[in-house]
Amino acid sequence: MTRLNETVPVEQTRINLDLKDRRILAMLDWDARLSIAKLAKEVRLSKNAVAYRISRLEKAGIILGYYPVIDFGRLGYYSHRVQLSLHNADARVKQEIEKYISNPDSEISWSVWVRGVADLLIVIWTRSLKEFKSIFNKFNTRFGKYIEKRLFTTTYGFEQYPYRFLLGKNDWQSMIIDEGPSFHLDKLDSRILASLNSNARKSCTEIAKETGSNYKTVQYRIKKLAKNHVLIGTRAFINHTAFGYNYYKFMLYFTHYSDEEYHKLKNYLRGLQETVYIVFHVNSDLDAEMLFKSDNEFFEFIDGLQEKFPGLIKNFEYFLFTRTIQIEYVHQLDA
């Protein structure tokens, strides 16, 4: 399963989208499990018309799939990000890196090629620092001679926002992953999450068949996972490149730190249509992911940010996501 918030090669067919298409996309973006009947009622079309439009959006490479948003912190996992600058890594070496990462035995959950202050980002979810170091050491044993510089950091939460460009609205709704009470998954819970991970629009009947359960049990378990904030939500993979957007991640470093100024800046970013993630890392003062149509637009935004918050931002680093190798979280779950 690949999460396609980032640029990924996709066979794309150009189609004209009307407001009803965009409304369908916006609703699936924030709740991938909405029924055809519910969507049809909201956009005032027949169920057949909505089903046809969704199929057309999928075939055109605008909807690339459907995925669950899972709070792995509630399950006892920590997210470790590794930022790598490479040297002497030609096309053959990069292909070997991709092959290694794509193998489930690598235990690497997420990886993307980037431009900016590094060449490759990888994320590893583990229950301990010792486990993380063991997994990274295997990668380093194989490719360490190509690594010029590396930086480790740990994530302790994030805020996720809808693709607000779809309807041009600054909607403040968010999915938040933060510290909270732990939850123990049993084998059926893990199988249900794995099934949703492959396609979050699967019906409870389909999931029951895959997991050897029944409709009512699956329906109850999904509600329980949501109630306990393990399953935060479900979303459509919407190909932002089809709308002309690039995906940028930047880390801000302050000249001085104050809670008041931090919250002012964070609230400002929350209200921007371009913002899709605010990520909480231990090594930067503020970390965000946003959509812009060009490098010039991104740098103009950074300049404007420094003018709006004078004297606060000492420095920034950024990445332009160019191609995702893999995102696969659920295979690491154990009951």
**What CA–CA distance (Å, rounded) separates 193 from 214?**
15
Q: Tokens for 163?
A: 């693709």
Say if 270 falls within a structural domain. no
> What pLDDT is stored for residue 245 in this prediction?
97
Concatenated DSSP letters of 182-239 = -----HHHHHHHHHHHH-TT--HHHHHHHHT--HHHHHHHHHHHHHTTSEEEEEEEE-
> What pLDDT is stored for residue 2 in this prediction?
39
Say if 188 falls within a structural domain. no
Instruction: Print the domain residue range for 99.
Output: 77-157
**What CA–CA distance (Å, rounded) separates 86 from 125?**
22
Say if 120 falls within a structural domain. yes
pLDDT in tens, 19-47: 999 999 999 999 999 999 999 999 999 99
> What pLDDT is stored for residue 226 in this prediction?
97
Say if 172 falls within a structural domain. no
Say if 119 falls within a structural domain. yes
- CATH code, domain with 91: 3.30.70.920
> What pLDDT is stored for residue 57 in this prediction?
98
Say if 118 falls within a structural domain. yes
Say if 310 falls within a structural domain. no
Say if 83 falls within a structural domain. yes
Residue 208, amino acid: A
pTM of the full structure:
0.90
- In this prediction, the residues of the chain whose per-residue pLDDT falls under 70 are 1-14, 329-335
Q: Tokens for 54?
A: 């969704």
Strands (E) in the chain, as ranges, are: 63-70, 78-86, 110-116, 120-126, 147-160, 175-177, 231-238, 246-254, 275-281, 286-292, 313-327
Count of structural domains, the chain: 1
